[in-house]
Amino acid sequence: MDRRQRKTRSAIFDAFTKLLSEKSYSNITVQEIIDEADISRSTFYSHFETKDELLREMSNDIFAHVFSDHPAKEKSHDFSRADYDLKEEITHILYHLQDNSRYLSRILSCESGEMFMRYFKEYLEKIFRDELKKIKTDIPTEYLLNHMVCDFAETVRWWMKNDKFSPEDISRFFFSATPFD
């Protein structure tokens, strides 16, 4: 993607984020995104076929960074050390969700919440599957994987509604109820 395309994509993401801070996902139209981003309709559709695809790509951008194998030091947190364990990875994810909470709470509060959660769970499956390989248990791995992914996803949904806890608090709550040591 060239610089001009990245700039346009960023303008669309910024416009969508601004609109999400003002109204629910279901009440945002593509025309409003176009107007806010100050782009043409054809420019929007050259980047995204639908508003749902825009949500997926925005989610993927967040998740690609959050679930990166090589996290970098950031303004609100630093998980760039080499000894990155599952608890730190979960806390890192929570920091990113907190950093994006102004629009995530809106996304999660309407029909787009199920779409976002589906995308989120796809990413979570990989990290939990890798960790479950290290645990000896007679419980079927696929059951544990489903349980962990759904539990964490619902923990995040709950946290977005009850944002008085820190990412470290939520991570501690989550790990106190899991089979991970």
**Region 50-176: CATH code:** 1.10.357.10
Taking each helix axis from N to C end, the angle separating 112-132 and 101-108, rounded to the nearest 10 degrees, works out to: 110
Which SS3 state, helix, strand or coil, does residue 45 take?
helix
- CB contact set of 52 (below 8 Å; sequence gap of 6+): 112, 115
| Mean pLDDT (whole number) for 79-83 | 59
pLDDT above 80 for 106:
no
Q: Report pLDDT for 70.
A: 60
- DSSP 3-state percent helix, strand, coil across the chain (nearest 5): 70, 0, 30
CA distances 131 to 122, 134, 141, 171, Å, are 15, 6, 11, 16
pTM, rounded to two decimals: 0.76
Average confidence score pLDDT of the chain: 85
Q: Which residue has the higher pLDDT, 23 or 167?
A: 167
| Pick from 86, 109, 118: nearest CA to 163 | 109
Top-confidence range, 5-9, 30-34, 86-90, 153-157: 30-34
pLDDT above 80 for 101:
no
pLDDT above 70 for 12:
yes
Tokens (6 digits) for 51: 């508003």
pLDDT above 70 for 171:
yes
Domain spans of the chain, in order of start: 1-49, 50-176
| Mean pLDDT (whole number) for 112-139 | 87
pLDDT above 60 for 88:
yes
Q: Report pLDDT for 152.
A: 94
- CATH number for 1-49: choose from 3.60.70, 2.60.40, 1.10.3470, 1.10.10: 1.10.10
Q: Counting Cβ atoms within 10 Å, is residue 97 exposed (0-12), middle (13-18) or buried (19+)?
A: buried
pLDDT above 70 for 18:
yes
Cα(28)–Cα(144) distance, integer angstroms: 37
Cα(175)–Cα(100) distance, integer angstroms: 23
Q: Report pLDDT for 68.
A: 67
Q: Residue ranges of the alpha helices (H) in 38-166?
A: 41-47, 51-66, 86-99, 101-108, 112-132, 141-161
Q: Which residue has the higher pLDDT, 50 or 108?
A: 50
